[in-house]
Amino acid sequence: MNLEALIERWRAGDQRAAESIYNQHREQTFRLAYGLLGNTEDAEEVAQDALTYALLHIHHFDERRSKFTTWLYMITVSRSRDIMRKRRLPTFSLTAWLQNRQSPSDSRPGPEQRVTENETRKSVWDAIQDLSPDLREATTLRHWGGLTYQEIAEITGCTMKTAQSRVRLAHQKLVRILGEVDFQQSAEETR
């Protein structure tokens, strides 16, 4: 059954439709929150909260204005901002904290030849977590979500021009950070 029909059925009070909507969006919502917050517990809290809010306020969703996913991502981004504000998680300490934990790539130790690949992945992940929240949101929505600038603008509450410049700025910052990491790694290899 398609999403529109499920939303209509949930609006009419069918709880199984709500469950289907929940299950269809559970992982995506969690992943977006994880990308923005960088840790599983917070991401699960945000995902649960965002999904609950969306289902409880389904009558506020206007399909003529946006897609359901865009609306749900909007709620997720807003809830993630609340968490960041509440727990005062500055990005620099978050990265330091993450380094003391197992990152997703660390939890699946691969064969020896994949060490470099995992290191690169970790470098990119750490660099993204080092970005300011605005830039991290734009990068995650663009690179992972594959969203248009219009959708990013709608989700993050800025203009399309701002969304575009955030994506560009994030790219330049990431390249600078990752370029330095590359340089340090090659310098260590030549020693």
Partner 1 sequence: MKTKHLTPDGLTGYIYCTLDDAQREVIDAHLMECPTCRANLAEKERWQRQISNELGSVLNFAAPSPQLNFSAIVPRLQNRHFRKNIWLDRVIVVPTTLALAGLVFAVFGLWRAIGAQAFTSPAQPLGAFPPLACFFLTLASVEQFDRSHSLRPRRAITWAVALILWLGSAFIGLLDLIVLRDLAIMAVIAVDGRNATAGPIAIMTVLLGAMLYIGFVIGGAEYHYKNIGLPGSWKLFSITLLGQLFILILPYLIR
Chain positions contacting partner 1, by CB under 8 A: 15, 18-19, 22-23, 26-27, 30-32, 34-35, 40, 43-44, 47-48, 51-53, 55-57, 60-62, 65, 74-75, 77-78, 81-82, 85, 103-105, 108, 120-121, 124-125, 128, 139-140, 142-144, 149, 154, 156-158, 164-165, 167-168, 171-172, 174-175, 178
In one-letter notation, the amino acid at residue 14 is: D
Q: Residue 50 CB, nearest distance to partner 1 (Å)?
A: 9
Alpha carbons 168 and 138: distance in angstroms, whole number = 9
CA distance 178 to 125: 10
CB of 106 to partner 1, least distance (A): 11
Nearest-angstrom CA–CA distance, 170 and 128: 8
Residue with tokens 């969306």: 54
Least distance between partner 1 and beta carbon 184 (Å): 17
User: Judged by CB, which is closer to partner 1: 34, or 68?
Assistant: 34
Shortest reach from residue 114's CB to partner 1, in Å: 11
Nearer to partner 1, 43 or 94 (CB): 43
